[in-house]
Structure formats: structure tokens, C-alpha cells
């Protein structure tokens, strides 16, 4: 039904998408069974380093105001400073450490250097997300092809088993013919 060359080609492309830059395996990989060629890029490193407060179950999309200090404190919320948000800015007195917005040389919005960095990061973000999209699609295709291959292998196993049974049966017959010299070997008694 399908040429094997295309299958192996896509699988190779999938593999290369994971070991491509050789910097995906030493990320975190805290999972025990995802250590060989998968990288778990999503919610694992985040869950341990960053937010990670209520992301362990299906509770991460709660209104987010119920979890803990959410808006504009530790997270990267309200970066539209002139948006007249209904929530105030607690970043000036919550968590005295890890503070950056007020100091840090007053990052000087609308400076050329800031815009340059922003634009560079935007390009990097697009690139990274494109890569992630490609990787996801390759993984999906790989899973489908592996399933097809599994089906074929199972059918092959069925064939071989049947053939083996036939030969075993024939051999047992011959064994009866060959060893029993005309006597009543198996049926009587």
C-alpha cells in the first residue's frame, strides 16, 4: 500500500528534529520513560522552575486570580503599562527580591536598543514556535506510521504462526508414520 522509502524518510526527519541541534536532551527530562529520544519540552521544565503551583492536574486554567499572587507580580502579566487595567501594580512591594521593572536602569522603552532587542526576540520566538510546530507534526506522522507498521508486523506474525503450525502438524504426522511401524499408536487407549 505504501512505499517504505517515504516512511523511513519521515521517520528520519522526525529523529533529526529531536537531535538536530544536540541541545534537547540535557534540558530536564525528569520523566523516567521519556529519556531516550523524546524531550518533553512543554510543562515539565516549567512546572519545576517557573510557575508550577497548580499545573499538576486539570486545574491550570482556573481564573488564575484564585491561585496566588498572579497579576503583574511574579508572572509576566500586564506588560501594557498604559492599558488602564482594573488590577493595580503590586510589583513595587511584593517579593522584594527578583524585582526588575522599576530599577534595572529603567529599561527605557521606545529606545532603539530596546526595539532592536524586542524585534530580535520576536524573530527568535517565531523561529522557535515554527520548530515546535514542525516537531509536533513529525511526531504525529511518526506515530501514525509506527501504527501502520505495527499492523503489518502483526499480520506477518499471524502468517508465520500459521505456517509454523502447519509444518508442526505435518511433522507430527510424519513422526507418527515414521516411528510407529504400522502399530496402533495414538488412537487406541
Using CB under 8 A, list all residues that contact a copy of itself. 33-34, 36-38, 40, 42-43, 55, 58, 60-64, 79-80, 82-86, 109-110, 115, 119, 122-124, 126-127, 130, 133, 136-137, 139-144, 146-147, 149-150, 153-154, 156-157, 160-161, 163-164, 167-168, 170-171, 174, 177-178
Report residue 170 as a C-alpha cell: 505435518
State the Cα–Cα distance between residues 132 and 146, nearest whole angstrom.
Answer: 21
49 binds, among a copy of itself, DNA, none (CB under 5 to 8 A by kind): DNA
86 binds, among DNA, a copy of itself, none (CB under 5 to 8 A by kind): a copy of itself
| CA 120 to mean position of chain CA atoms | 27
The 3-state DSSP class for residue 23 equals coil
70 binds, among DNA, a copy of itself, none (CB under 5 to 8 A by kind): DNA
- State the CB neighbour count (10 A cutoff) for residue 166: 10
Q: Please report, as residue ranges, which positions from 11 to 40 form the binding site for DNA (by CB under 7 A).
A: 21, 23-24, 26-28
Closer of 62 and 95 to a copy of itself (Cβ): 62
Report residue 25 as a C-alpha cell: 536532551
State the Cα–Cα distance between residues 147 and 145, nearest whole angstrom.
Answer: 5
Round the CA-based radius of gyration of the chain to a whole number and report it. Answer: 31
100 binds, among DNA, a copy of itself, none (CB under 5 to 8 A by kind): DNA
State the Cα–Cα distance between residues 89 and 95, nearest whole angstrom.
Answer: 13
Spell out the residues 6+ positions from residue 54 whose beta carbon is closer than 8 angstroms to its own. 60, 62, 67
131 binds DNA (CB under 7 A): yes
**Interface ranges with DNA (CB under 7 A):** 21, 23-24, 26-28, 41-43, 45-46, 49-51, 60, 64, 70-71, 74-80, 83, 85, 98, 100-101, 117-129, 131-133
Amino acid at each position: 500500500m505504501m512505499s517504505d522509502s517515504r516512511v523511513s524518510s519521515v521517520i528520519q526527519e522526525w529523529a533529526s528534529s529531536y537531535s538536530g541541534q544536540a541541545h534537547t536532551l540535557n534540558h530536564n527530562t525528569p520523566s523516567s520513560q521519556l529519556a531516550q529520544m523524546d524531550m518533553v519540552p512543554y510543562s515539565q521544565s516549567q512546572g519545576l522552575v517557573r510557575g508550577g503551583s497548580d499545573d499538576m492536574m486539570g486545574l491550570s486554567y482556573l481564573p488564575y486570580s484564585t491561585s496566588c499572587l498572579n497579576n503583574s507580580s511574579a508572572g509576566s502579566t500586564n506588560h501594557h503599562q498604559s492599558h488602564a487595567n482594573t488590577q493595580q501594580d503590586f510589583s513595587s512591594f511584593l517579593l522584594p527580591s527578583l524585582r526588575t521593572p522599576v530599577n534595572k536602569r529603567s529599561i527605557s522603552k521606545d529606545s532603539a536598543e530596546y526595539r532592536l532587542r524586542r524585534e530580535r526576540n520576536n524573530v527568535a520566538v517565531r523561529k522557535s514556535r515554527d520548530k515546535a510546530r514542525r516537531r509536533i507534526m513529525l511526531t504525529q506522522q511518526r506515530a501514525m506510521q509506527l501504527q501502520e507498521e505495527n499492523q503489518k508486523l502483526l499480520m506477518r506474525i499471524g502468517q508465520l504462526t500459521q505456517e509454523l503450525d502447519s509444518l508442526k502438524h505435518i511433522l507430527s504426522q510424519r513422526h507418527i508414520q515414521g516411528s510407529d511401524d504400522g502399530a496402533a499408536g495414538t488412537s487406541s487407549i
